[in-house]
Amino acid sequence: MALSGGIGGAKLALGLSRVLAPETLTVVANTADDFEHLGLSISPDIDTLMYTLAGLDNSETGWGRRGETWAFMSALAQLGGETWFKLGDADLAVHVERTRRLRAGESLSRITTDLCQRLGIAVRILPMSDDPVRTRIRTDDGWLDFQDYFVRYQSRPVVREIVFAGAAAARPQPGLLAMLADPDLRAVIICPSNPLISIDPILALPGVRKAVIGCRAPVVAVSPIIAGRAVKGPTAKMLDELGVVPSAETVARRYADMIDVFVADPDDAALVSEACLDVEVHATPTLMRTLADREHLARAVLDAADRAAIRQSPSLSLDVS
């Protein structure tokens, strides 16, 4: 099982889907980035995962579909509509169909399962909850909804506080808690997504953090920061503005109480090891430029998990007679 936000997490999810039998992989998707826009219910992290796993993703932007046309957006602009959040014509079909089915009373997880089947995706994408959870950012100019902060204001406002409105009342996806309690689960992989806005919302759901800590399966986290810089997005800037050093070590400390292994780039891994965090540190290149990089990192993560499982299991007395 993998916990993932959008762009960084989706790359590793793709790598995992190619080194595992894809139907054995469940990716739990952050939904706290979701929002209502132009009367549509939009789930960016689910869609980034869907498009990436279906090979339909736009690799330049990391979101939306490749080969998009923009007739809807240009017509909307003529009408004076809001165009700061770009919706391509084919992408729009997902938002319109998801909105129609949500309004008809279907759950987000049911809709997601069906959309994945129609897009030929064998991996299971599971929204973290079917109840609404919304990231809100307190900045020096007041509170902002997440997409206003992230897209409309391009993550420029200074972040003073992050809250996940609705998390305390939201029910974690039943499948999520069941997997964490499953004795046959191979590993829990925390993808290299932004810990503050993509992983924390999942862990903020009632009982999830405790279930990850109590999980028998090894928990492996991949650093989203390389040499003090986030690979993409505002992770480092947000950490810095919240008064913590934007480093792989900071991320390892945030996860230390619930992970067995922290996977980071060699230079960062050395620093994290010196921090003596009672977490095994595995050094491997974590920047995923190519498909081979995604598969390499996926294999490294799974090997680290399997080694941790062997270390944790009762000593295997090999019958050598």
The smaller minimum CB distance to ligand FO1, of residues 15 and 224, is found at: 224
Measuring CA to CA, how many Å separate 196 from each of 23, 87, 199, 241, 285? 29, 25, 6, 12, 22
Give the residue among 126, 35, 135, 127 at the shortest CA–CA distance from 87: 35
- At its nearest, how many Å lie between ligand FO1 and the CB of residue 44? 4
Residues 230, 6: Cα–Cα separation, whole Å: 14
The smaller minimum CB distance to ligand FO1, of residues 7 and 12, is found at: 7
- At its nearest, how many Å lie between ligand FO1 and the CB of residue 203? 16
DSSP-derived pairing of the beta strands 40-42 and 35-37: antiparallel
Three-class SS state of 65: strand
Angle at 69 between CA 114 and CA 54, to 5 degrees: 35
Are residues 223 and 252 in contact, defined by beta-carbon separation less than 8 angstroms? yes
Cβ neighbours, 10 Å, residue 85 = 17
The smaller minimum CB distance to ligand FO1, of residues 51 and 255, is found at: 51
How far, rounded to the nearest angstrom, does the alpha carbon of residue 205 sit from its chain's CA centroid? 15
**What six digits make up the tokens of 21?**
């039998």
- At its nearest, how many Å lie between ligand FO1 and the CB of residue 75? 16
The smaller minimum CB distance to ligand FO1, of residues 42 and 205, is found at: 42
The smaller minimum CB distance to ligand FO1, of residues 98 and 294, is found at: 98
- At its nearest, how many Å lie between ligand FO1 and the CB of residue 256? 24
- At its nearest, how many Å lie between ligand FO1 and the CB of residue 121? 16
Cβ neighbours, 10 Å, residue 151 = 17
The smaller minimum CB distance to ligand FO1, of residues 6 and 172, is found at: 6
The smaller minimum CB distance to ligand FO1, of residues 193 and 302, is found at: 193
Burial 247-281 (b: 16+ CB within 10 A, else e): bbbbbbbbbeebbbbbbbbeebbebbbebebebbb
Nearest residue to the partner ligand FO1, using Cβ: 6
Q: Which residues bind ligand FO1 (CB under 6 A)?
A: 5-7, 33, 44-45, 47-48, 63-64, 85-87, 91, 147, 150-151
- At its nearest, how many Å lie between ligand FO1 and the CB of residue 161? 18
- At its nearest, how many Å lie between ligand FO1 and the CB of residue 79? 18
Residues 171, 184: Cα–Cα separation, whole Å: 24
- At its nearest, how many Å lie between ligand FO1 and the CB of residue 54? 13
Cβ neighbours, 10 Å, residue 77 = 12
The smaller minimum CB distance to ligand FO1, of residues 7 and 308, is found at: 7
Q: What is the DSSP letter of 163?
A: E
